[in-house]
Amino acid sequence: MNQPTRLRFSPGEIVATRGADALLREQNLHPVQLLARHLAGDWGEVGAEDAQANEAALQTGARLLSVYTVAGVKCFVITEAEPRAVTTILLADEY
């Protein structure tokens, strides 16, 4: 049996851009799969500096950024700074 993933922060409202929604549907990938990684602190393909900034942001309330590649396309998952009211899933070229 799988262990439940420990969430490291609250996402607030979860939204996706049209481009991200279309890509995920096209790839038969549910947004929760990316979101679960983000909320667990798996920042995906961010560089070391951004990963370190994310870890600090968990303490300071700053913005959190994860990057994942879906079918060769970079997708961002961004949780806004405190009060962490919104998490957005978007394509890199929509940023």
Each residue of 21-47: pLDDT tens digit? 999 999 999 999 999 999 999 999 999
Average pLDDT over residues 3-9: 79
Contacts with 59 (C-beta within 8 Å, 6 or more apart), sequence order: none
pLDDT at 25 (0 to 100): 97
76 within some domain: yes
Among residues 2, 24, 9, the alpha carbon closest in space to that of 62 is found at 9
Residue 5: pLDDT over 90: no
Helix 18-26 to helix 31-39 angle, to the nearest 10 degrees? 110
6 within some domain: no
User: What is the per-residue pLDDT across 38-73, written as a single tens digit (0 to 9) for each?
Assistant: 999 999 999 999 999 999 999 999 999 999 999 999
Report the predicted TM-score, pTM, of the whole model to 2 decimal places: 0.93
Residue 11 corresponds to which tokens in the numbers above? 């996402």
Query: Using omega within 30 degrees of 0 as the cis cutoff, is the peptide bond preceding 11 cis?
Result: no
Structural domain span for residue 50: 13-94
Q: Report CA-CA distances (Å) from 26 to 55, 69, 73.
A: 32, 14, 12
Confidence of residue 85 (pLDDT cuts 50, 70, 90): very high
Question: In total, how many domains does the chain have?
Answer: 1
4 within some domain: no
3 within some domain: no
